[in-house]
Amino acid sequence: MNKNLFGQTREQLPQKFPISSIDRRDHRKCTSEEKSILTSSLIKHMRLGDVERSIETYWKMRITGVPQEYIVKRLCAFCWEDATGSDILIYASALQTTWQHDSDNAIMRTIIACCRSEKFWNSREEADLEVLRIRVRESVKEQAKKGLLVIDDFPSFCRDHYTIQGRALGATRLSHPNNRFCGILQGGLNLRAETIAYGQPSPDKPSLYDSEIVRECAKRIQSVDEYMQEHGITEADMQKKAV
């Protein structure tokens, strides 16, 4: 008899896990603490980019009966929490929907992709964003804990055509200034016009939502770039109009 991590006595069990017996009912499964250390090992080796040790750990999990659904869940979490870039998110999405068709190969390929992927700590920008998301989350939770959370402290452009508050303010009129960043046609045209004029849309810059070019484009159902080309308007002209 020995004790587990929680000081509880348990029977000493053999440590051999023959692959041939993996699906047998009497096959010895790993304990909860063994599962946790195996999971930790997989995550740590993937973070360090060690493909061989990561795959080795996967097979230890596989042979000791850790459910593949659980492993898939942890791999998807790794893709969202540790790795960066659109490619690894494609792996996560594909793994969630197709892993059962060829589970071992799908999981191992995803493990390899996780090992080779860029991690958030490889980039100053991504590292800063990682801290930012946690800081903002904790700030909102702390406000709620103290009873100081304010729900409606949003700028006017959030109260647009698609919100109850916006419609009460008259944003059902497409010309309403609250629709500046709205998903309606004129809002999308304004976003493009502001991108051309300012480099990117900004609430701190003058709105182009009610400008002649945006209104005309909305009326004609024409893109801003098409209108500019048709009338010989350059990006420099747009920037001057926006000043």
Please report, for the domain that includes residue 99, its CATH number: 1.20.272.10
pLDDT at 138 over 70: yes
Predicted local confidence at residue 189, as pLDDT: 96
Same domain, yes or no, for 115 and 165? no
Unique residue bearing structure tokens 């973070």: 47
- How many Cβ atoms from other residues are within 10 Å of residue 142's Cβ? 11
148 belongs to a structural domain: no
Residue 13 backbone class (left: φ over 0; alpha: ψ -120 to 50; beta: rest) = beta
136 belongs to a structural domain: no
Predicted local confidence at residue 176, as pLDDT: 92
Same domain, yes or no, for 86 and 178? no
What's the average model confidence in pLDDT over 136-165? 92
Q: What is the DSSP string of 109-160?
A: HHHHHHHHS-BGGG-HHHHHHHHHHHHHHHHHHHHHHTT---S----GGGS-
pLDDT at 160 over 70: yes
User: Could you tell me the CA-to-CA distances from 70 to 62, 77, 175 in Å, in that order?
Assistant: 11, 11, 51
Q: Which helix (H) or strand (E) holds 54?
A: helix 51-63
Predicted local confidence at residue 22, as pLDDT: 52
In total, how many domains does the chain have? 2
pLDDT at 17 over 50: no
Mean pLDDT score across all residues of the chain: 88
Confidence of residue 124 (pLDDT cuts 50, 70, 90): very high
Final residue of a structural domain among 122, 143, 176: 122
What's the average model confidence in pLDDT over 92-121? 91
Residue of 9 and 102 predicted with greater confidence: 102
Confidence of residue 24 (pLDDT cuts 50, 70, 90): low
Same domain, yes or no, for 113 and 188? no
Same domain, yes or no, for 89 and 179? no
Same domain, yes or no, for 27 and 90? yes
pLDDT at 9 over 90: no
Predicted local confidence at residue 52, as pLDDT: 97
Q: Which helix (H) or strand (E) holds 2?
A: strand 2-3
pLDDT (tens digit per residue) in 47-97: 999 999 999 999 999 988 899 999 999 999 999 999 998 899 998 999 988
Predicted local confidence at residue 237, as pLDDT: 87
Residue of 191 and 9 predicted with greater confidence: 191
Q: Which domain holds residue 219?
A: 156-242
Same domain, yes or no, for 208 and 108? no
Final residue of a structural domain among 102, 122, 142: 122
Dist. CA 133–CA 130, nearest whole Å: 5
Confidence of residue 3 (pLDDT cuts 50, 70, 90): low
Q: Which amino acid is at 195?
A: T
Q: Dihedral, CA atoms, 110, 48, 22, 71, nearest 10 degrees? A: -50
Q: Are 56 and 91 within 8 A, CB to CB?
A: no
pLDDT at 188 over 90: yes
pTM of the predicted structure, to 2 decimals? 0.72
177 belongs to a structural domain: yes
pLDDT at 19 over 50: no
Contacts of 115 (CB under 8 A, 6+ apart): 45, 46, 49, 50, 51, 54
